[in-house]
Amino acid sequence: MSCEVHHMEHAEIAKVGQEVKNFKMKAYDPTEGGFVDVELETIKKAGKWTVLVFYPADFTFVCPTELADLADKHAELTKMGCEVLSVSTDTEFAHLAWRTSERLLENVRYKMAADPTGAVSRYFGVYVDDAGVALRGTFIISPEGKLVGSEINFLNVGRDASELMRKMQANIYLKDHPAEACPAKWTPGQKTLTPSEKIVGKVYESLRE
C-alpha cells in the first residue's frame, strides 16, 4: 500500500499515538501570495511540528472567526517550531478569493491547504460524507511524525486558539521530558507529575511538594 493519503483505503484513520502517513496538498500561501505544495514529509525533514486545523468551508460564518483567532497566535506557534496549516475541502483558488475578500482574514499568514477530494479529511476522521465538508478538527503531529493531539468539534462550535497554544507548550515540554506528565491546565513553569508507584493516590500531595 502506498503511503500517500489519496491512495489509502477510506477506512484507515490516523490514530493518536501512531505514526501519521504522508500527505500532500495544494495550498494558498498568503505570505508569498501564490500557490504551493505542502507535504508532511517536507515538514518533518525541517524538524517542525505540524498543526492541522480543519474547518467546514470558505465563505461561511464561524470559520473566519476561527481562522482570525488562529492568526493571532500564528507568530507564537511559528517561534515554537510549528508549521500551521488550515484545511478545508475548498480549492486553493477559493482560499485566495476568500482571504482577499473577508476582512477577518487580513492577518492570516499561514498556508491554507486544499483538500477538494476529501482524502486528507477522511484520513483524519473529520469528513462529513453527506455534506462534503470537514468537521472542526485540530491535530498536532510531532517532528517525528507521531499524532500526539486530536480535537474534533461539530460544525457549529468554534475553537479557541489559546487552548491550542497551551497544548503545544505541553507537548514541546514533554518531548524533552518524556518521563513526566502535564496535569490539567498546565502551563510552562508549573509543576508536572512523574508517574510512579510513589504517587498512586497521592497526586494532591505530589503537586504541592
pLDDT per residue over 133-147, tens digit each? 999 999 999 999 999
Local confidence band at 209 (pLDDT 50, 70, 90 cut-offs): confident
Which residues have CB under 8 Å from 20's CB, separation 6+?
Answer: 14, 40, 141, 145, 146, 147
Tell me: domain 5-161, CATH 3.40.640.10, correct?
Answer: no
39-55 b/e (C-beta count within 10 Å ≥ 16 → b) = ebeebbeeebbbbbbbb
What rounded mean pLDDT belongs to the chain? 94
Task: State the pairing for strand pair 82-88/147-153.
Answer: unpaired
C-alpha cell at 61: 460564518
7-44 tens-digit pLDDT:
444 469 999 999 999 999 999 999 999 999 999 999 99
Radius of gyration of the chain (CA): 18
pLDDT at position 2: 33
The whole model's pTM is what? 0.93
Q: C-alpha distances in angstroms, 142 versus 22, 168, 182, 183, 186?
A: 13, 10, 17, 20, 19
Q: What mean pLDDT comes out for the span 84-90?
A: 98
More confident residue, 5 or 189: 189
**Which pLDDT value is given to residue 8?**
44
Q: What is the pLDDT of residue 11?
A: 65
Active site residues per annotation: 63
